[in-house]
Structure 1
Amino acid sequence: MSGVLLRLACTAAVTAQAVLAPVPAAAAPAPQRSVSQLLTDLQRLYRQAEQATETYNGTAEKLRHQRAEVTRLDGELARARLALQGSRTDAGRLARQQYQNSTDLSPYVRLLLAPDPQHALDESHVIGRLARERAETVARLAGTEERQDALARAARKALDAQLTLAGQQRKQRNDVTARLADVERLLASLTPEQLSALARLEQKDVAAAQDRLITSGAPADNRPPSSTEADRAVRYAMGQIGKPYQWGAEGPKSYDCSGLTSQAWEHAGTPIPRTSQQQWARLKRIPLTALRPGDLVVYFPEATHVAMYVGDGQVVQAPRPGGKVTLSPLASYPVLGAVRPAADTRPAATDAS
């Protein structure tokens, strides 16, 4: 638990104790939860908030791609309408020529009256060319009309999908806000002594988990990065230490967990998927024993948190609401596994998070 979060929670708890009226003597005392139970509840609420955040991030990423698709289709539709206008102009000119029996049709007459056979053949070639041009004009008109209709349907469908995603995003934003409010309520209900005890217990649990990971073969030495891109990603992530956690943020002033890792690799020249679930699903998985700086460590069974390994058994991460980008032990949360971005990594646009 970050120092800032502890101070805020302590202030809220002391203030609440000062302003609340005394509990009547007849009231039954509320059941006291142990420190370990409180820590379990708090970690559950943090996990739910981050899971809601990553769901929101996934929808936001899909919405960004969908908006780009709508813009692309609108541009194609505008060009198709201009082409259709040109095709209709050509078709109208053809209709007028046929109606007026214009000079463009005179080669038929010249062919019948020509005394020179070679001249007649030349006129025949002209007639064929004109016939082909007219046929192409008609075909172009029909094809352009079909293309405009198809693009209009696609643009409408893409816009409907965009509106649906925007509605999902609004609901998910409300879900994140509600989850964070649950965290704030629990913190505000705790005394400074309980908050200190929670911090001590959490540090003890992390230290024990770190020992188990190192014993099982996870690296604790300072290995070199696996590539120059990994080295650049690590240097970028380390340069963000001290910046606040903000759900849905991708920098440069604040980050959430996957916002930090995706932006670090983006600045290294290797785009990767936006969310922790997508990073876990699409990037190359590696054993923890093979960890090198720049690799991503994914946490919890649902892959709802991610950090970047930087060597010496540590990760750099945007930990959770109220915290700041910081160096932490590899075992700060229950480890699911690790992945390694590669130079040919490409984020997918439409998969679910």
Structure 2
Amino acid sequence: MSGRLVRRAGTAVVVALVAGALLAPGSAVAAPGPEGRSVPKLLTDLQKLFRQTEEATERYNGTEEKLKQQRDQTNRLNARLAKARAALHDSRGAAGRLARQQYQGSSDFSPYVRLLLARDPQQALDQTHVLQRVSLERVETVDRLADGARQADDLAASARKALDDQLVLAERQKKERDDVQNKLKDVEKLLASLTAGQLAELARLEADGAADAQRKFVASGALSSARPPSEAGNRALRFAVEQIGKPYEWGAEGPGSYDCSGLTSQAWAHAGREIPRTSQEQWESLERVPLGELRPGDLVLYFPGATHVGIYLGDGMVVQAPRPGAVVKVSPVAANPVLGAVRPDPSAEGMSGYRPPVLPDGAREGSDTGYGLDAAPSS
């Protein structure tokens, strides 16, 4: 699926929230929503849908990455198989030539009898030596032919299996793509059922919840004092800052749009270090660091399943691609429930003379939260 559906859902969020803020200023009440649900309950439901969408997106991203690797393996095996078959063809040609030579030069006399009857025994000995070398060449050619045939058969079987695996992954990718589409349709359906006043109240509750979570997180002492990034971390962070304002799009890795892990993986790739594509793999494979030792460029992971990720900016803030309908922006680190942090270059020293990147205008505008405020930030 393209990002058009995502952008439609996100545009509905943004437009409706703005309209709600204009049409329902002052204190909004927790008016009953669809099917009698209160606005707080609607917020929980909406955030749950967004979270499920991102979980589905990360599953899709993981399968897409595996599918890319499987395509590469299939192509490599097919290339090796083509070479093996060409070599086998050459070996068969050589074997045929030797067979014809052997037939044309066949004789009922053994080399010993030919030696006794020869006018020049030395010449006969030389001929025998040549015949032995030819015989050895024949044996080697036959062995080479047999090895080539076995290799071609093995490669053909491997190539068939690789292609089967590729087709299985492609089918899984299609199902996961459909899963994302269906969840986004659920978001659109819920948004379409809300009034402008309800949407304005949702925005207020969401912002208040994020601010409260950030205050508690900072008060816990989890955040570090100022630490300079590594050279690579600085490059990754500055790349992320340069993407501020670009839209979120599920499965996107730039340059025009990103999802959460697309942003972080591309930022570190720009810094010269390849890291896994998905947030779950980033959490599992990169070295974890205590939240009290965060430095700019580190990755902050969110939710128990590590389904969301941002890049630490410093001063308790992250650069992230929050959710469908939002844009890459600067957010409080605790805008979503924090799981932990990882560092792509743990052995690198902090750089000297570090200056934080200059943020563009509007870098903090828009919704900060992702997909649920029901989990307390970890310390």
TM-score of the superposition, structure 2-length normalised? Answer: 0.80
Paired position in structure 2 for 1:56? 60
Secondary structure, counterpart of 1:339 in structure 2: strand
* Partner Cα separation in structure 2 for residue 85 and residue 97 of structure 1: 19
CA contact (8 A) 2:17 2:203 kept: no
CA–CA separation in structure 1 for the residues paired with 2:137 and 2:110: 16
Post-superposition shift, 1:118?
6.6
What is the rounded CA distance, in whole Å, between the counterparts of 1:137 and 1:50 in structure 2?
59
* Pair 1:9-2:16 in alignment: yes
Q: Is contact 2:57–2:250 with CA below 8 Å preserved after alignment?
A: yes
Q: In the alignment, residue 139 of structure 1 is paired with which amino acid?
A: D
Three-state SS of the structure 2 residue aligned to 1:328 is strand
Distance in 2 (alpha carbons) for counterparts of 1:221 and 1:32? 47
Paired AA for residue 261 in structure 1: T
Q: Cα deviation per residue 1:118-156 (whole Å; 9 max; x = unaligned)?
A: 766655543332222111100000000001111111111
- The Cα of 1:198 is off from its aligned counterpart by 1.3
1:292 to 295, 302, 305: 295
Contact 1:53 1:248 in 2 (8 A): yes
Q: 2:233 aligns with which of 230, 235, 255?
A: 230
Pair 1:163-2:167 in alignment: yes
State the shift of 1:106 in Å: 11
Structure 1: how far apart are the matches of 2:10 and 2:75? Answer: 45
Superimposed CA distance per residue, residues 242-269 of structure 1 (whole angstroms, 9 cap, x where no aligned partner):
0000001000000000000011111111
In structure 2, the CA distance between the partners of 1:181 and 1:217, relative to structure 1 (3 Å rule), is same
Distance change >3 Å, CA 99–CA 217, structure 1 → 2: same
Distance, in Å, in 2 between the alignment partners of 1:231 and 1:5 is: 35
Cα deviation, residue 87, structure 1? 0.3
Aligned to 2:337: 334
Identity %: 62
| SS of structure 2 residue aligned to 1:254 | coil
Q: What is the aligned counterpart of 2:50 among 26, 46, 61?
A: 46
Task: Quote the residue 1:71 is aligned against.
Answer: 75
Structure 1 residue aligned with 2:285? 282
Q: CA deviation at 1:36?
A: 1.7
Q: Name the CA shift for 1:112/1:49 in 2 (closer, same or farther; >3 Å).
A: farther
Distance 1:58 1:31 in 2: 36
Give the Cα–Cα distance (whole angstroms) in 1 for the partners of residues 111 and 208 of structure 2: 98
Q: Secondary structure at the match of 1:177?
A: helix
For 2:271 and 2:115, how far apart are their aligned partners in 1? 72
Per-residue deviation at 1:34?
Answer: 2.1
Which sections of structure 2, spanning at least 5 residues, go unmatched? 1-8, 21-32, 348-379
In structure 2, the residue matched to 1:206 is: 210
Q: How far did residue 208 of structure 1 move?
A: 1.6
Task: Give the 3 Å change call, closer, same or farther, for CA 286–10 of structure 1 in structure 2.
Answer: closer
What is the CA distance between 1:163 and its match in structure 2? 0.8
Q: Distance in 1 between matches of 2:260 and 2:117?
A: 85
Between the aligned partners of 1:298 and 1:128, the Cα distance in structure 2 is: 72
Q: Give secondary structure in 2 for the equivalent of 1:301.
A: coil
Cα distance per residue 1:161-196 (max 9 Å; x no partner) = 111111111111110000011111111111121111
> Equivalences for 1:171-186 in 2 at 5 Å?
171-186=175-190
User: 1:112 Cα shift?
Assistant: 4.7
